[in-house]
Amino acid sequence: MSNVKKKTHITVNEKTHEEIKRLAKLNNNVPYSYIVQRGMDYYIEHQGKQYPELYAVLENLMLPIYEELEKLRISSNDTNTDLSMLKEFWNHYFATQNEHEFVTTESNKTHELSIAKDLVDQRIESKRIKKLSRGK
């Protein structure tokens, strides 16, 4: 195991908090993070097989996160659909310049749309690079 420590913030119910305090006091007032770390190390080592109650508690803690991720995925799909429609309309506008025929990006990708796509790709890449450089 690595000795590198990572800072994290957790929220626990009152009963768990009181138990962590009790165990910390029982062990010469060690930091609460030490108690949590020991408990998680034990759980990882035994993979929750010997304590199904602990596995159930951890599973219940993760369930709201999974639900939230599912909501975000659905929202992302809706946004992607809306953006695709906007892209088609803008491409049609530039391709036809007020003519009566609808042109899709698959049939005729305009120079203006290509420029916009390149610009957006550059911005995304720049933000990704900044984010990765901050993480080091």
Token pair belonging to 107: 């049939």
Q: What's the structural domain count of the chain?
A: 1
pLDDT tens-digit readout, 88-131: 778 777 777 756 666 666 667 777 777 878 888 888 888 878 77
Token pair belonging to 55: 């596995």
Q: Could you give the 3-state DSSP secondary structure of residue 116?
A: helix
Domain membership flag for residue 15: no
Work out whether the CA dihedral 82, 88, 92, 93 comes out positive or negative: positive
- Segments forming the whole domain that contains residue 107: 47-134
pLDDT tens-digit readout, 10-55: 888 899 889 888 988 888 888 888 888 888 887 778 775 666 777 7
Domain membership flag for residue 72: yes
Domain membership flag for residue 36: no
Domain membership flag for residue 30: no
- DSSP-derived letter for residue 136 is -
Domain membership flag for residue 4: no
Distances (CA, A) of 26 to 16, 19, 21, 22, 40: 15, 10, 9, 6, 18
Domain membership flag for residue 22: no
What's the angle, vertex CA 43, arms to CA 41 and CA 44, rounded to 5?
Answer: 65
Structure pTM? 0.34
